[in-house]
Amino acid sequence: MSADQMSVGEMLAATVPMAGTLGLEFLETTAERAVVRLPDRPAYHNHVGGPHAGAMFTLGESASGAIVLAAFGNQLDRAVPLAVKAEIGYKKLAMGTVTATAALGRPVAEVVAELDAGERPEFPVTVSLTREDGAVTGEMTVLWTLRPHS
């Protein structure tokens, strides 16, 4: 992991207290992919012994935020990234450590071109939530925007 990648995770942990509270581990943060892990801790468990749905949502949303910062961090002087809406589907019981892998749904250049044109671009980030055995336990899509500063 490079210093730039570490800084995205450190920035999220510092600016989004819930990410720090859950002890999220930012394993990879590039403009192409973000990988974030939720450690298995009893305090995060639900009534069936797996991670609580809220912890899994936060994991997925944090992975989506990491890729957004990696892809558009150089635009922060003129726009703020905001999540517009999110949808999550829980597919299988998650037990143990869960990893979220996020992918940007539109090319960075296309989104920046809309921002350059004075628009407020929107773009999806898809997230796959997996157990340690590789089974997909959930899928999430977060729609983001870059809101230009006034």
- Share of residues in the chain with pLDDT > 70 (%): 95
123-135: pLDDT as tens digits:
999 999 999 999 9
β-strand partners of 28? 35
**How many angstroms separate the CA atoms of 102 and 85, rounded?**
16
Strand pairing partners for 131? 98
pTM for this predicted structure: 0.91
Mean pLDDT on 100-110: 97
Integer Cα distance of 66 and 8 in angstroms: 6
Q: What is the pLDDT of residue 52?
A: 93
DSSP 3-state of 89: strand
Query: Whose CA is closest to 123, among 133, 138, 112, 132?
Result: 112
